[in-house]
Amino acid sequence: MTERTQAAARGMLILAAALALLIGYYWVHKPAGFEMAFTLGGALLDLLAAGAIIAVGGGLGRRALARLLPPGLLSNGERLALEAAAGLGLLSMAALALGLAGLYTPAALWALLLAAAALGWPGLRGWLAAARALARSRWPARAWPRFLAAFTLAALALALLHALAPPVAWDALMYHLDGPRSYLAAGRIVARPDNPYLGFPQSVETLYGLGMALFGRDTAAAPLHFGLGLLALISLGGLARRHGGEAAGWLAPALIVSAYSSWLLFGWPYVDLGVLLYSAAALTAFANWRAARDDRWLILAGVSAGLSLGVKYTAGVLLLALAAGAAWTAPRRAVRSGLLLGLPALILFLPWLARGLLLYYNPVYPFFFDGLGWDAARADLFFGGAGLAGRGEGWQVLILPAAAAIFGVEKAAGFAFTAGPWLLTLPLLVPLGWRWLDAPARALAAACWALLAPLLLIWAALAAFTLLGAQTRLMMPALAVSAAAGALALEGLARWPQKPFSLYPVLRGIVAFTLVLALAEMVYVTVRERPAAYLTAAADRAAYLDGRLGVYAGAMRRLAELPAGTRVRFLWEPQGYYCPAHLACAPDSLLDAWPHPVRAGRSPDDVFAGWQAAGDDYVLVFDVGRRFLTEVETRAAPENRQFDAAAARWLEPVWQDDAGAYVLYAWRAAP
């Protein structure tokens, strides 16, 4: 060995020893900010995963729509959003095909994303260039649009903090994330008879699985949902600006995020912002069709409606509204327009119909034909409950937009959505300012109302007679259209006669004041829920979940002490997402795991005997939920009241939290 080689070897040994020393030292003596850097690094991975999926979707969409998308008309933002919406739908269907073929694994999903990027590479480069150009757009010069822009961006920044924190939202833990997690664990998309919600179309959830697979992080899902919402805002803003000017272009997205409940959605891994995106894309296509009478726009509206059906059944109201709006616009071409809308929608909905048929024995599970684990009793429980008419509140149907704005409260009965004072009501001012709108603004306002009128009629009918039908969140297409129409309405009033007094500055001041109040509430909620504490490592994941989920987090920690392979049946607890990975949990997704078999004629003893024979080792009871569904919401009260006596014969409590909310039971000897 030469002297130079010996020197190099000694140098490498010294360097290795120094590195080992540093690693050992800082493993024990972690420098200030180490945990924060690690947490923020994870957040960047989540943003990277969400951004990569959206960008690849944009590239795919640009390539897929190259010949279908008519030239001209669209602004850069509208085009970006429309292409991404189409591409993400295609990407989701490709992931669905992999999942049904037993290839829903990180390696296969990585391969899918890379293959999609390669396939759409020219389009991807063009889409990213257009996105960079949009990001470099000039800041508004005038005070009012500058205020609206600042409000919108501040609200989005606060929502992004929530999106980057661990998931805690109710439906996310019940099925939006529980499904993708279980599919990744199984390596395939499988039927889940224990959770009927997973039989619904799952376009966005399938993308969540892709995002979670890239780096093994469940916190990638909410940023992806945030991205879908951001694309929707870009689409609505571009459309409103092109027809109504700069202020309208910022007011439309501001109206969406000013609604407290829709702002919450930007921080949750739900699917509603996917419907918002496809609804915005459909509105753009429909408005362009009315302006140019180019049938390609009508096909694109049908494409958007079909992709929205893959997100949520209730998005079907969008297709109905498009058909009604097209028939109103061109009555003699109503059949042709219906086919141009309906055929693309049906083709793009077919993969989800096939999924329902293959896995749940019903293409539109659980509607019409029952299916896996579903029957008339469950349907009655799920869809039952009186609507506004049955509760003596039918008069609200006559003033539905105003009633939803005034009486809608997040998580409360009825509308169950805090929409703010303006999102649903400003469109009602369009007739008052109509004569002062210029031709482009009138064209868009007319297109909006051609869709909004049937949407409101459908909503009124559903709200009058069904409990679920009143929920504002299920009418997301109406919110997209309403935001664009409301932005134009306020701009129309800007040209209102200034005598005897100038109405527009007063109304604009009121709107600005309410936006400030909305932002103050967002700041308060963000400070209270402390996502920044998690992101800066002032609170770790467990502490954050304890603060947000309370006794539920404690119950899941207790379950973590059980041996691997233990089977735990949940009663009156539908959220199974945080069940420890080494256990097999059966959540009570419809809150009827006990009353459903009892109502069907099985004795309580037979129900317990069946669970024990099926291999359940423990039963976790959310006693607060049981009491609520016995004493307050009483539809299943007779069956629920039979639980205590039977449980005393079959179950023995082994743990209870300090609040008495959760009780973990083991089996007694059979009576």
Q: Do 105 and 58 share a structural domain? A: yes
Phi, psi of 71 (to 5 degrees): -75, 160
DSSP 8-class letter at 563: P
Model pTM score: 0.94
List the CATH number of the domain containing 569.
3.40.50
Looking at the structure, do residues 399 and 516 belong to the same domain, yes or no? yes
Q: Are residues 25 and 50 in the same domain?
A: no
What pLDDT score does 201 carry? 96
Same domain, residue pair 627 and 495: no
Gap between the Cα atoms of 380 and 471, Å rounded: 18
Q: For all residues of the chain together, what is the average pLDDT?
A: 93
- Residue 655 belongs to what H/E stretch? strand 651-656
Specify whether the CB–CB gap between 339 and 327 falls below 8 A. no
pLDDT confidence band for 35 (50 / 70 / 90):
confident
Q: Does residue 603 come out as left (phi exceeding 0), alpha (psi in the -120 to 50 range) or beta?
A: beta
Domain identity same for 222 and 267:
yes
89 lies in some domain: yes
Residue 141 lies in a domain: no
The per-residue pLDDT for 243 is 96
| Overall domain count for the chain | 3
For residues 347 and 396, membership in a common domain is answered with yes
DSSP code for 371:
B
Q: Of the given ranges (10-24, 43-57, 224-238, 513-527), which has the lowest mean pLDDT?
A: 10-24
The predicted structure's pLDDT at residue 520: 98
For residue 95, is it within any domain?
yes
Range of the domain at 50: 42-129+146-528
Q: Examine the domain organization and report whether 460 and 563 are in the same domain.
A: no
Parallel, antiparallel, or unpaired for β 567-571 and 584-586? Answer: parallel
- Residue 655: beta bridge partners? 664
In a domain? residue 136: no
pLDDT for residue 208 is more than 60: yes
For the cut 70, the answer to whether the pLDDT of residue 156 exceeds it is yes
pLDDT at 217 > cutoff 60: yes
Q: What percent of the chain has pLDDT over 90?
A: 80
Q: In DSSP terms, which residues pair with 571 in a beta bridge? A: 621
- Residue 304 has which token pair? 């958007």
Element at 32 (helix H, strand E):
none
- 518, 646: one domain: no
Q: State whether 469 and 563 are in the same domain.
A: no
- Nearest one of 218, 241, 231 to 85, comparing CA atoms: 231
**Which ranges of 361-438 does DSSP label H, i.e. alpha helix?**
376-383, 395-398, 400-407, 430-433
**Rounded CA separation 404/475 (Å):** 11
* Domain identity same for 523 and 578: no
- Which of 415, 398, 411, 417 shows the shortest CA–CA distance to 456? 398
Q: What is the pLDDT at residue 32?
A: 63
Is 175 within the bounds of a domain?
A: yes
- The predicted pLDDT at position 8 comes to 72
Do 186 and 299 reside in the same domain of the chain? Answer: yes
Give tens-digit pLDDT for 369-419.
Answer: 889 988 888 887 777 677 888 888 889 999 999 999 999 999 888 899 999
pLDDT of 555 over the 80 cut: yes
Do the domain assignments include residue 182? yes
Decide: 653 and 615 in contact? Cβ < 8 Å.
no
541: in domain: no
| Same domain for 386 and 289 | yes
| Structural domain contains residue 544 | no
Q: Tell whether the model's pLDDT for residue 29 goes beyond 80.
A: no
| Predicted pLDDT at 227 | 98
